[in-house]
């Protein structure tokens, strides 16, 4: 069976595996209220993707909002939101990586 060209290659996004989630969600340990709130948000997004017609724009808006809220908690808050998003998307150029390295931003 041929791969669907519209379906992302699973190896492109290794942080979506269990280990990636465990690392990303570790800060929620000991904060059950925040963990429950995140769980609700994830389930809402999942439901939006499961209904017909898909509510993809709502999911994208929710994820954009989450990135904006997450941004101040990163070392990027003193550098650039655009670079933070580009790093998370895996789209930094080598020059941008060197600039961030020179600024002392760990990634």
**E strands present in 1-107:** none
Instruction: Return averaged pLDDT per consecutive 10 residues of the chain, 107 residues in all.
Output: 49 71 91 90 92 90 91 82 86 90 82
Tokens 């600024």 belong to which residue? Answer: 103
Q: Report pLDDT for 29.
A: 92
CA distance 75 to 107: 9
CA distance 30 to 100: 32
CA distance 66 to 76: 15
CA distance 24 to 50: 24
């Amino acid at each position: 069976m041929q791969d669907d060209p519209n379906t992302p290659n699973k190896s492109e996004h290794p942080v979506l595996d269990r280990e990636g989630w465990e690392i990303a969600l570790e800060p929620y340990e000991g904060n059950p209220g925040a963990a429950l709130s995140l769980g609700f948000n994830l389930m809402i997004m999942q439901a939006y993707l499961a209904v017909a017609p898909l509510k993809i724009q709502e999911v994208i808006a929710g994820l954009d909002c989450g990135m904006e809220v997450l941004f101040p908690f990163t070392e990027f808050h003193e550098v650039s939101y655009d670079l933070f998003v580009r790093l998370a998307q895996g789209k930094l150029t080598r020059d941008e990586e060197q600039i961030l390295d020179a600024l002392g931003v760990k990634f």
